[in-house]
Structure 1
Amino acid sequence: MLQRRVTLSILCLVMHSGWAFLAEAANAPRKEAGELSISLSDAVFIALRNNTSIRSAYIDRVAQQFDLRVAEDVFTPHVSINAQALRQRTAGTPKDSLSAAPEVTALTPLGTTFDFTWNGELTKSPGQRTRTSVGQFSFNQPLLKGAGIDVNMAPVRTARLTEQNNILNLQATVSQTIANVAIAYRSVMQAGKALGLAEEAEKRAATLLDNNKAMVAAGRMARLDLVQNEADLANQRLAILQAQQQVRTAELALLTLLNLNLQMRIHLKERLEAPAPNFSVDKLLSIAFARRQDYLIQSNTVEMSRLGVVVAENQRLWDLSLFGSATTGVDNGTKVQDRSIGLRLSGPLNDLHPEQTAVHASTGLKSAELQLEVIHQGIEQQVRTTIAAVQLGWRQLDVARKAKDLALSAVDIEKQKLAAGKSTVFQVQSLEMNYRNAQTQTLTAEISYLNSLTSLDLALGTTCDTWKIKVTGN
């Protein structure tokens, strides 16, 4: 929400795009190591294609979607058929028979079950031929236990809520991956800029040493004073080596997230841009409760628990059912016409298991509601804490920038005094050290502030919205 927006869309695990550069970056590097020049948006796109966590999540989606399909298929009429062809010989007499028995069963949201069966058989033996064709239709309508739309639709509604939670979990995985990539990208940026600062400091130390050597040659400075310059130059060269190691470590972490060749080197095209914070705490809290994946998942869990209570309470009732059947056809030449209808009542007299199930369902609902309250409180605390971190980070960045400018001015003034013989090498080196520290603090403040914006997006559940990424269940 607070970072630079790009337009991306996750429509499936393997996303197709016309961006030839990104396709090359995602696939070619495994064949040949080289240098990869990417922006932050490029890194996010590659991660969405290659990251193993996201790919694993989409693999799981195949089974999850099929589970929903099975649950929603419960009210679809199901057809089955049994058929047999038989040739046998009994006491030297051959006999051939052919039979078929298709069956259609259906369940309605009211709990009504319908069943239609047709039995057809043709038997042929020497001098005899018989034929049977009988159809039977039956129904069963629960009036207490198992009756009603709420009870019979509960499994379907639960499956749909589970599917919503699966998509929310996928969205959370994508959001966390994006945040990890952004932070890793900035770590590479921070290490690279720290290396640049170390190289600049080494150049300044070398220039100061050359100038002081000239002053020694002119008799304006003692040769012993050069020892401090030489030691400072050696320290700066050591700092460069340490910074190079930090750069490589950060690159490997980013390449691992992008699932690319670890032998590659990374060149960043992004520039540090830190926009000032401008938001309302109350508005962000309302956004968090509307978008946070864990809060929405728990809300769905509460609803599923309510459905479980409905089913459990219904299962405590006795089974009172209206049933009936009708049979018509011809059985071995005899016409068949049968009708029946009746009521059936059955129920336990001293079985505590149905009540036990209802008690567990009720306590499960209360626990789910309590957990929702805990998550609600945790989200509010996390959002307020993250907002405070963003606001404080912005103030720290502003102070660090001013301190860096003042430190640079102090170095320039002290160098002028040294050239006029009114200062010492030690004083200049001390101010140079202060300036390097100010540069490092400014860089750290910039990266920390940008990372706090990323953390705020995660706290609000708006990471995918910020990056214009649409996470679908397909």
Structure 2
Amino acid sequence: RFGITFTQALLRGFGTQVNVARLRQARLDTRLTEYELRGFTEFLVAQVERTYWDYALARRQIEIFEESLKLARQQLSETEELIGVGRLAEAELAAVQAEVAAQEQGLINARSNMESIRLQLLRLLNPPGIRLWQRRVDLIHQPTLPEIKLDDVDQYVAVSMRMRPELNEARLGILRDDLQLVRTKNGLLPLMDLFITLGKSGYADSFGESVSNISG
């Protein structure tokens, strides 16, 4: 016996819209992944840039505290000399000593902050090699004000609305939910299929003769 059966869904699974919904969802998922990758990359670049300038600022703060401590110690030495010759009261010494201690503490905090930012920058850059925490970070570009002319704010807003990854992810998410709604509605329909079977039988004492009988 030879036969061909055709099956056509009449309710659940009927129509091209529901049948291509999964394919369209897969395409949207691919685009969503691309926007997620773009968003992660932009965030990482922004983090590296911000940490770079934070490190530059931390180094500058150390220089400021070192200079301030140098001046405070110089003032302490001068105050001690003036007290020694009787030109200043000994009570003036406490305020100068407190200033020296404050500058020393500020320098310690500044160095600790710089080390923390250095490790954070190395973690973001993730350079090859071992003993990452021992790597020295030398800044090639010092912080300066860029000499660029800024465009109108509306242009930046327009580009942001069109290109920001999270906005595009939200738009694609809405489209994907619409397709899921189509699939869900169709899945709630009862199962009703139309079957058409075409066939022909051949009878004989051997398989070869039966095939010949089917073909006529």
Distance 2:153 2:179 in 1: 35
Q: Identify the residue that residue 334 of structure 1 maps to in structure 2.
A: 210
Give the counterpart of 1:269 among 135, 140, 155: 140
- Report the 3-state secondary structure (helix = DSSP H, G, I; strand = E; otherwise coil) of the residue aligned with 2:102: helix
Cα deviation code 1:454-473 (max 9, x no counterpart): xxxxxxxxxxxxxxxxxxxx
- Quote the RMSD (CA, aligned, Å): 3.6
Pair 1:331–1:136, CA change in 2 (3 A): farther
Distance 2:97 2:69 in 1: 11
Verify the 8 A CA contact 1:142 1:320 in the aligned structure 2.
Answer: yes
- Report the 3-state secondary structure (helix = DSSP H, G, I; strand = E; otherwise coil) of the residue aligned with 1:270: coil
Give the counterpart of 2:170 among 272, 275, 298: 298
Q: Report the TM-score, using the length of structure 2 for normalisation.
A: 0.73
Pair 1:314–1:243, CA change in 2 (3 A): closer
- 1:76-95 superposed matches below 5 A: none
Deviation at 1:153, TM superposition (A): 0.8
Q: Which amino acid aligns with 2:207?
A: D
Matched, 1:319 2:192: yes
Q: Identify the residue that residue 222 of structure 1 maps to in structure 2.
A: 88
- 1:239-254 superposed matches below 5 A: 239-254=106-121
Query: Whose helix fraction is larger, Structure 1's or Structure 2's?
Result: 2
Deviation at 1:240, TM superposition (A): 1.9
Deviation at 1:269, TM superposition (A): 1.9
Verify the 8 A CA contact 2:5 2:195 in the aligned structure 1.
Answer: no
What stretches of structure 2 of length at least 5 have no aligned partner? none
- Report the 3-state secondary structure (helix = DSSP H, G, I; strand = E; otherwise coil) of the residue aligned with 1:268: coil
More moved, 151-160 vs 232-241? 232-241
Distance 1:328 1:284 in 2: 74
Deviation at 1:157, TM superposition (A): 0.3
Verify the 8 A CA contact 2:12 2:191 in the aligned structure 1.
Answer: yes
Q: Identify the residue that residue 61 of structure 2 maps to in structure 1.
A: 194
| Identical aligned residues as a percent | 22
Pair 1:309–1:273, CA change in 2 (3 A): same
Deviation at 1:163, TM superposition (A): 1.4
Matched, 1:183 2:50: yes
Cα deviation code 1:60-111 (max 9, x no counterpart): xxxxxxxxxxxxxxxxxxxxxxxxxxxxxxxxxxxxxxxxxxxxxxxxxxxx
Q: Identify the residue that residue 182 of structure 2 maps to in structure 1.
A: 310
Matched, 1:287 2:159: yes
Pair 1:186–1:136, CA change in 2 (3 A): farther
Distance 1:265 1:223 in 2: 47
Q: Which amino acid aligns with 2:134?
A: Q
- Report the 3-state secondary structure (helix = DSSP H, G, I; strand = E; otherwise coil) of the residue aligned with 2:133: coil
Q: Which amino acid aligns with 1:333?
A: E
Matched, 1:139 2:10: no
Verify the 8 A CA contact 1:181 1:254 in the aligned structure 2.
Answer: yes
More moved, 270-279 vs 321-330? 321-330
Q: Report the TM-score, using the length of structure 1 for normalisation.
A: 0.37
- Report the 3-state secondary structure (helix = DSSP H, G, I; strand = E; otherwise coil) of the residue aligned with 1:265: coil
